[in-house]
Amino acid sequence: MASFSRSSQLSGGQPPSSILFGVDIDTLDNPGWSVKIDLEDTLLENKSFTQIEKDETDQSWLRCRVEDKKFFGCGDPDRLGEILSIFLSWVKTESDWLTVHHESSVEAELRHDREFWSALGDEVELAQCSYPGCDRRRIQHSVFCRSHHFEMMRSKPAPADD
């Protein structure tokens, strides 16, 4: 588990204290355990997982699923080891499950461009874009439409045009 946590942190470039990547184990009030493991930017982020539900009694239960690039497991107080075993059995079916994905500079630039484009938001203002000849509306906090704002900031064409 420690190896998985370290490799997922490295793949995302986050510091070890980050809650974005890693393993989160907590107690439940009913009582029981809750496990959340972030799979984003690992080789496991798109791996299929068959949901598990074991409701034997009110005091003996366990549930595991993968959703939104995260593994979630919860169970009664005696099931923490079983939850972790289910996770490890699932990931070990991939021979390279600890491999860190290294993003190329081209991939990183494309990702940053998409993130910036997305962060610009929709063209919502009533005023028109100030770029000569453009009839689109401007975005919030700019005198330009989304495309022209992107082009002015990045000095290259926008990745998409709505």
pLDDT digits (tens, 9 = 90+) for 78-126: 999 999 999 999 988 877 766 666 778 888 888 889 889 989 988 887 8
Give the structural domain span for 138: 105-154
pLDDT at 19 exceeding the cut of 60 = no
Residues 72 and 111 in one domain: no
Q: Enter the pTM of the model.
A: 0.53
Mean pLDDT of 70-84: 95
Task: Give a yes or no: residue 96 inside a domain.
Answer: no
Residues 78 and 145 both lie in one domain? no
Q: What's the confidence (pLDDT) of residue 80?
A: 95
Please say which residue of 63, 91, 119 terminates a domain: 91
- The pLDDT value recorded for residue 104 is 81
Q: Which of 58, 91, 124 is the last residue of a domain?
A: 91
Number of domains in the chain: 2
Confidence grade of residue 21 (pLDDT, cut at 50, 70, 90): low
The helix/strand/coil state of 149 is helix
109 & 84 share domain: no
Contacts of 47 (CB under 8 A, 6+ apart): 39, 66, 90, 91, 94
Alpha carbon distance 132, 134 (integer Å) = 6
| 9, pLDDT greater than 80 | no
Closest C-alpha to 73, from 57, 89, 96: 89
- 46 located within any domain: yes
Average pLDDT, the chain: 83
Q: Is residue 9 part of a domain?
A: yes
Same-domain check for residues 69 and 10: yes
State yes or no: pLDDT of 159 exceeds 90.
no
